[in-house]
């Protein structure tokens, strides 16, 4: 990963957990796990609550179809880590209802919502309502909401994976995807004990509140401006613009530039 602190900066209990699981599986812990367990108080708990519900909770879409939509979102962001992961999860979670290598194997409702998500992900501010909703007549409103939550989760995670340079190493695709599927995108609670208490409202609201208001290194006003796409002081402006519009273009040089300007890895 591009930030060494995500490899080595974890709390003691997390280090023990990562060492134990790696020794048991004989595979190094995936980068996504290391990132999520580094700062549970800022992002992890509300993101995992949203993810578990979106990907494995009750839904109009099967688990395999939701993995397929996650893979399609990853393709939009050119995120190899997530493309390969969700293609494999589509096969694992599905029952043959969708082939990740054959878009035409999807049922018509899934193809329609896939096109809708592509349009709203790539051009959210310029999407024509008639164009965006074309072909969605047979898709119930609650199904569209379910799909948008899947899309929200992976619009976030794909950017994180691209910015931090997640890489799939030998054995991780097989072991990591099966663990994700088996545990339904949930982590042991003792690893998240420093995170915020579980919310009692909407998972999206909980996520937004945590990221904007939880104690962190950056000022809450800076985080709020970044979320809203408002002007930021350099060196953050050019970096945030790239993460928002084309996260796959982030390189080690971008991270080096930030640290050279006095920004800590946190």
pLDDT tens over the chain, length 266 residues: 999 999 999 999 999 999 999 998 899 999 999 999 998 888 998 999 999 999 999 999 999 999 999 999 999 999 999 999 999 999 999 989 999 999 999 999 999 999 999 988 887 766 566 666 777 889 999 999 999 999 999 999 999 999 999 999 999 999 999 999 999 999 998 898 765 555 667 889 999 999 999 999 999 999 999 999 999 999 999 999 999 999 999 999 999 999 999 999 99
User: Cβ distance 74 to 82 under 8 Å?
Assistant: yes
Partnered with residue 99 across adjacent β-strands are 102
For the whole model, what pTM was predicted? 0.92
- Annotated domain spans of the chain: 5-216, 217-266
Contact between 262 and 240 under an 8 Å Cβ cutoff? The reply is no
62 membership: H or E segment, kind and range: none
CATH number of the domain at 5-216, please?
1.20.1290.10
105 Cβ contact partners less than 8 Å away, ≥ 6 residues apart = 98, 99
Indicate the SS3 state at residue 182.
helix
Please say whether the beta carbons of 81 and 2 come within 8 A. no
Helix (H, G, I), strand (E, B) or coil at 172: helix
Alpha carbons within 13 A on the beta-carbon side of 126:
3
């Amino acid at each position: 990963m591009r930030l060494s602190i995500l490899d080595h900066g974890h709390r003691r209990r997390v280090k023990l957990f990562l060492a134990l699981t790696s020794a048991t599986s004989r595979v190094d812990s995936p980068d996504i796990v290391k990132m999520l367990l580094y700062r549970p108080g800022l992002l992890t708990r509300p993101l995992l609550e949203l993810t578990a519900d979106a990907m494995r909770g009750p839904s109009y879409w099967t688990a395999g179809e939701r993995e397929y939509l996650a893979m399609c979102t990853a393709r939009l962001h050119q995120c190899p880590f997530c493309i390969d992961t969700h293609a494999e999860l589509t096969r694992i979670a599905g029952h043959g209802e969708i082939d990740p290598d054959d878009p035409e194997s999807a049922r018509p409702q899934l193809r329609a919502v896939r096109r809708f998500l592509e349009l709203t992900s790539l051009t959210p501010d310029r999407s024509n309502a008639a164009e965006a909703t074309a072909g969605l007549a047979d898709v119930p409103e609650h199904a569209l909401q379910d799909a948008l939550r899947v899309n929200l989760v992976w619009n976030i995670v794909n950017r994180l994976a691209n910015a931090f340079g997640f890489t799939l190493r030998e054995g991780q695709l097989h072991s990591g995807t099966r663990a994700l599927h088996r545990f339904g995108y949930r982590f042991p609670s003792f690893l998240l004990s420093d995170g915020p208490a579980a919310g009692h409202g909407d998972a999206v609201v909980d996520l937004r509140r945590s990221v904007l208001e939880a104690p962190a290194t950056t000022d809450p006003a800076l985080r709020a401006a970044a979320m809203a796409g408002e002007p930021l002081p350099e060196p953050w402006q050019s970096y945030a613009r790239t993460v928002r519009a084309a996260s796959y273009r982030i390189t080690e040089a971008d991270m080096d530039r930030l640290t050279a300007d006095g920004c800590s890895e946190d």
